Amino acid sequence: METFHEENVRIAFGGRSLDAVLSIPGQSTTVRAALVLTHGAGGDMNVKHLVSLAKAAAAAGLLCLRFTCKGLNLSYRVKAYTAVMEYLRNQEKFTLTSIFVGGRSMGARAAACLTNQLSTGVGDVPHGLVCLSFPLHPPGQTHTHRQRSEDLRSLAGVPVLFVSGTADDMCQRSLLEDVTKHMKSPTTVQWIEGGSHGLVVKGRAEDEVLAQVERCLNRLKEMKLTAALLEAEAMCPTESQR
């Protein structure tokens, strides 16, 4: 496990700036992959799950950038995410070949929307999408899940990792499983048994649950491999060419 350090940065966004933190592996000159994370409708970049994931990612050799955006409008959050991605790509001290995007709750929706926009337009498409507690519907309003899952179902070729609690009142398990069945992108769902929308599990220590979420980072390696296989499949349509 590598050592890492953190740097506070400010990212220009319109006439304002976004607060962000870079978690940088000790061997920064060899960093090739990055993970971008943002928070939900409440809180900021310092919520425990994001901090825990950022540190675990950096310790595993990934550059991690987490940022705060207080806007509650989804399109505003997507614009902020776009500014953050541009900032990261312009960092000359890193030679990045893979960028994963993600977030918690509304932050996951913003990451999914951005990824969908990039995959259907002009721009570098992220190598994978990480959704912590994706808010598939408001509590008690499961009928809205079609609208909230539209960006997910439109994605093609971008691997998606979901980390959700089985007791999440904003993501009914059967509905998320149905959504993933109809997605064109490869998906993996890591269920936290008994986890709420905040991934709190009654009877389990918070650190224990955080450690389980951190272990999901291992899936990033699989997502990178999946992306490479999809690219090979597109270039070599017949099995003998691969």
Q: If we measure between CA atoms, which residue out of 233, 229, 223, 230 comes closest to residue 100?
A: 223
Query: To which CATH superfamily is domain 4-241 assigned?
Result: Alpha/Beta hydrolase fold, catalytic domain (3.40.50.1820)
Dihedral angle, C-alpha 141, 119, 100, 229, nearest 10 °: 110
Q: What is the pLDDT of residue 63?
A: 94
Q: Does 59 have pLDDT greater than 70? A: yes
Q: What is the pLDDT of residue 24?
A: 95
Q: Does 48 have pLDDT greater than 50? A: yes
Q: What is the pLDDT of residue 241?
A: 37
Cα 108 → chain centroid: 6
Cα separation, 111 vs 191, in Å, equals 20
DSSP 201: -
Calculate ∠ Cα 36-214-48, nearest 5°.
Answer: 70
The structure tokens listed for 215 are 């272990």
Q: Are 97 and 33 in contact (CB under 8 A)?
A: yes
Q: If we measure between CA atoms, which residue out of 31, 109, 120, 98 comes closest to residue 76?
A: 109
Q: Does 239 have pLDDT greater than 50? A: no
Residues 207-239 as b or e (16 or more Cβ within 10 Å = b): eebbebbbebbebbeebbebbeebeeeeeeeee
Q: Summarize pLDDT for 90-147 with one digit per residue, the tens.
A: 998 899 999 999 999 999 999 999 999 998 876 789 999 999 999 999 999 999 999 9
User: pLDDT category, 242, cuts 50, 70, 90?
Assistant: very low
Q: How many CA atoms lie within 13 A of 64 on its CB side?
A: 28
Identity of residue 151: D
Note the helical H segments in the chain: 48-59, 74-89, 106-120, 145-148, 150-154, 173-181, 206-215, 218-235
Q: What is the pLDDT of residue 165?
A: 95
Residues 147-183 as b or e (16 or more Cβ within 10 Å = b): ebbebbebbeebbbbbbbbebbebbbeebbeebbeeb
Q: What is the pLDDT of residue 2?
A: 62
Calculate the average pLDDT of the chain.
Answer: 89
Q: What is the pLDDT of residue 234?
A: 61
Q: What is the pLDDT of residue 120?
A: 81
Q: If we measure between CA atoms, which residue out of 132, 190, 192, 129 comes closest to residue 160?
A: 129
Q: Summarize pLDDT for 167-220 with one digit per residue, the tens.
A: 999 999 999 999 999 999 999 999 999 999 999 999 999 889 888 888 877 777
Q: What is the pLDDT of residue 226?
A: 66
